[in-house]
Amino acid sequence: MPSSIEIKLCVLVCIFCTLNNNNNNNGGIFVGVLGGRSGKALTTTQAGGGGGGHVSSGGGGGGAKRGTTTPPNKQGGGSTTFNAFTSAWKAACGSTVASTVYIPKGTYMVGPVKFNGPCKAATVTVQMHGFLKATTDLSRYGSSSDWFEFGWVEGLTLTGGGTFDGQGASSWPFNKCPTNANCKLLPTNVKFVSTTNTIVRSITSLNSKFFHVVLLGCKDFHGSEIRISAPGNSPNTDGIHIERSTGVTISNSVIGTGDDCVSIGQGNAQVTITGITCGPGHGISVGSLGRYENEGDVNGLVVKGCTMSGTMNGIRIKTWANSPDASTASNMTFEDIVVNNVANPIIIDQTYCPYASCSSLAPSRVKLSDIFFKNIRGTTSSPVAVTLECSKGAPCQNVNLQDVHLDPSNGGSVAKASCQNIKAKYSGTQIPPPCV
């Protein structure tokens, strides 16, 4: 049996398969998606059940099947590129040995793609060096709210320095979510669904139509050296959103968007965020929580060594008023945070509700407890640097502020703190002065 399979997508020629016993010293499978320029007709060839040897557009390699695809669409996402990506993934995922999908340098126009498992391979690596551009035609996404989806895979690594460009500028005017609670969601750049033991490293996401990176139901996810960028006025372009996941670490990443740089949603446990440079955007947020029925609790969050510059918020915890069910968010530590010209460096907002239906508010039913703000320093662009607005129905418990030093960025008088439904604990430096 051959120890490796190489699948290549070549410019103007074909996708061909090579059965090569010497290609991979580790005995794994190597799957390459090579070349790739929009507007070119490509031919696909797949290895069949025959023996070894070279399988190309000329036949050979017993059992090969060959077919011609249509040219890619200039708007992005022609069927050729889509078929090449999905074929490469199927080959890698279906292997019984460790496998790699290789996407080299070049620009690829591609519509929505699903890289889903479960896989036979113990590990699958996507080595991405290319520049991927999403189609701007929203009709191509159908009912899907994702551009790239990695789902139900164990042992996935995504790396290589490549870029996902969502080309979202033409879609942002269609985003009605800031004003309409029943809006249709635009596509997310990259979503990870129910993955286990995942590594994402040295990847860039640009101009997503909606959220850039989403983790949903993941376990043991480790992201680092991720770069995310969208204009400060782009709606709902959250950098990394985490929901119903356990054992997540995000580190040493640069994020600038029109919304939260990192948002920690409901149902998360043991999440660690370190070394994030954030701005523009809305800072690092827990929430929003308490909007829907049956939301999971949040427990065990550490945010440490992060810098926010020119953002709306620094560290924010937001829960919905009128929340239908009770839930909790506890054991959260925010430490060694630097804010530069940030409007709300520290904010707990338990009356969050951005829609007109919020004119009559019932107290939030999300209980916040065991929260620690340590060594938060820098400058604020607003007169109120610390806002602790807790729920009247479920007041915050054991909120601690230690060594907080926040000066006005314009050099004016000392900023203020504002508190409701809370008796916080203070130690060390406190600028602004604590609430009385």
Question: Could you say which DSSP state residue 168 is in?
Answer: G
DSSP-assigned letter for residue 410 = T
101 in helix, strand or coil? strand
CA-based nearest residue to 95, from 159, 22, 1: 1
Sign of CA dihedral 320, 219, 303, 206: negative
The distance of Cα 364 from the centroid of its chain, to the nearest Å, equals: 27
3-state secondary structure 253-298: EEEECCCCCEEECCCCEEEEEEEEEECCCCCEEEEEECCCCCCCCE
50/121 Cα distance (integer angstroms): 22
- Give yes or no: 222 in active site: no
3-state DSSP call for residue 71?
coil
In residues, how long is the chain? Answer: 436
Classify 175 as helix, strand or coil.
Answer: coil
Of the residues 129, 241, 282, 405, which is catalytic?
282
The partner residues of 251 in beta bridges, in order of sequence, read 224, 274
Q: Which residues are catalytic?
A: 282
